[in-house]
Chains A and B, each alone.
Chain A
Amino acid sequence: MTEVTELSRPTGEALDTKEVLLNLGPQHPSTHGVLRLVLELDGEYVARVDPHIGYLHRGTEKLAESFTYTQIFPLTDRLDYLCPPSNNLAFALAVEKLLGIEAPIRAQYIRVLMAELARISGHLLITGALPMDLGAMTALVYAMREREMIMDLLEMISGARMHTSFCRVGGVREDLPDGFFPKIREFCDIFPNRIRDYERLVENNRVFLKRTQGIGVISAEDGIDLGLSGPNLRASGVDWDIRRDEPYEIYDRLAFNVITRDEGDCYARWRCRVEEMRESVRIIEQCLDQMPEGPFQIDMPTIAFPVDKDRVHCSMEALIQHFDLSAYGFKVPKGEVYSAIEAPKGELGFYIISDGSQKPFRMKVRAPSFVNLQGLFGVSNARYLADMIAVLGSLDPVMAEVDK
């Protein structure tokens, strides 16, 4: 096995031990899904780590080359399955840039609102899962309760709880349903108090603090060098958020703080996400206040189905366009685009090369979890096997996204 990372052995008396190879995963409950870590152990100290991934590889990029642009949305859902609306948004933005169009303002608000709901949903999982990895089960149960509320909201909007596929090129599939606003306002009222509850559950838990504070420190230089992004990098003190620095959609109209921490340890990464959920609630509230009336889809019958079905029923041209769009999809001008958004896990980028046909010539997904998992090589002081669990949990990889 090649040498991946060398972790210094703590000083002090040590018995002579033989190095042991340990397979952690792919089905070990403390790893997140189908990840296999080959650990070289020196006693209880981890000498090297070699992650083996690919157990969930579905060939999304290859499949996308044989799908029309609209058909690709369900594929993007299945990347980071904790927050499909973000993935949909990232892909839609990339295609819209190639087409040179923009979604109507109301649609942009709906997309941002859903993306922020997804961010909360994704962050809730790690809020509960990291303490669970370290033995404190309770937080996860509570986090799942709130996640259920988000699932209900997403179901209300799209009809699907997990794989929403709600974005379309040029807008969203439908307008928000009746009775949605009171529901989400209720959520926005309840949720900040619930965040306080998680903090009270976990913050004073000495075992959790001992196992995360000062453990698995990644410096800012190492984080940038290893390509970390999102909360993982912000926890190391790098003030970078694509929502603020390269605003897409209507993020430039919203006020929110970019949460950073300086410690760079497991606790800071967990803490960053908890704080970000508060900011997401603020963003959602602003979206609700600012959201204008108007169309939810672009008025271009060659790209989006007309909202007014009478047009299809009464006009021959509209009927032909409708048929053409459903049977063959729309053509995207020749060119290439790289478009990145701030997904819950970090920089989610879509690089699309179009050859002018209805299907992408090449679609590359810059999956944040894939890159973030390399953070395992950047930790400076995770010495014990038990620390690896904390580090892995705090990096928050979603294996579906790692393996694409």
Chain B
Amino acid sequence: MSGEAPLIPATIAERFSGGIDDLGFAHGVHAFAAPSGMIVDLCRFLKENTTLRFDFLSDICGVDHYPDTPRYEAVYHLYSLANKWRIRIKCGLGDPPRVPSVTGVWRTANWHEREAWDMYGIRFEGHPDLRRIYMWEGFEGFPQRKDFPLRGYKDTLNPFGAEGPPPTQPDLATKDIP
């Protein structure tokens, strides 16, 4: 892993005065916290800035911090092919979780965001095709949330599942978005 690059927080602070918190450098990755409203601007800036050149989106990851608040988090891992730097952007999300999609910045975000939607129910606004990716159409609930039982809910196909109906989320349609 490459060493710490003080240029990264300086460049970000110069462009986004305040708003982006520097969470420090650990294990080869510099971490930042950004509000969800700024995520697209920040990503576009990081990708297009000629010094930083974070042109490669490694991963988007959903996290459920139940029962803490803010409960959800979208975590972005970016890599700069030219500078060999890695950064992490953490984006705390309320309940129900919503965050603008970065599919307009990187096409690879498409499946990562579909996965986070499928597993955590994080709604990526502006995603062109936000369907479930692993679970089948019509599946109820979001399996990787902390309050979703490990063995799922009991039904005819799953006799070992937990008792009780799946939690209903009136605010969020758990069905596929047409």
Contact = CB atoms under 8 A, between A and B. Distances in A.
A246 B28 contact: yes
B151 to A, nearest CB: 10
Contacts of B128: 2
Interface of A is mostly: mixed
A321 to B, nearest CB: 26
Interface residues of A, number: 42
A362 B86 CA distance: 20
B170 to A, nearest CB: 25
A349 interface: yes
Contact of B57 (A227, A240, A248, A339): A227
Contacts of A226: 107-108
Interface stretch (B5-13, B58-66, B157-165): B58-66
Contacts of B132: 54
Contacts of A270: none
Contacts of A373: 111
B77 A366 contact: yes
A393 B1 CA distance: 32
Contact of A54 (B61, B86, B135): B135
A362 B59 CA distance: 14
Contacts of B81: 224, 238, 240
Given A227-B106, A338-B88, A349-B77, A371 B111 contact: yes
B28 A351 contact: no
Contacts, number: 98
Interface in B123-149: 128-129, 131-136, 143-144
Interface in A56-85: 57, 59, 61-63, 66
B134 A338 contact: no
A269 B175 CA distance: 38
Contacts of A66: 150
B106 A54 contact: no
Interface string B102-123: 0000111011100100010000
Given A349-B77, A366-B59, A338 B29 contact: yes
A349 B59 contact: yes
A338 B77 contact: yes
Contact of A227 (B88, B108, B131): B108
Contacts of A366: 58-59, 77
B107 to A, nearest CB: 5
B150 A63 contact: yes
A374 B111 contact: yes
Contacts of B135: 54, 57
B142 to A, nearest CB: 11
Contacts of B20: none
B25 interface: no
Interface string B1-35: 11000000000000000000000001111010000
B107 A97 contact: no
Q: Closest 4 CB pairs between A and B?
A: A227-B108, A54-B134, A364-B61, A57-B134
22 contacts: A57-B135, A61-B119, A62-B143, A98-B27, A225-B106, A227-B58, A240-B81, A245-B84, A246-B84, A336-B88, A337-B27, A338-B27, A338-B77, A340-B58, A347-B58, A351-B59, A351-B61, A364-B75, A370-B111, A371-B112, A373-B111, A403-B134
Interface of B: 1-2, 26-29, 31, 55-59, 61, 63-64, 75, 77, 81, 84, 86, 88, 106-108, 110-112, 115, 119, 128-129, 131-136, 143-144, 150
Given A54-B132, A339-B27, A403-B134, 5 more contacts: A227-B57, A339-B28, A347-B58, A349-B77, A364-B75
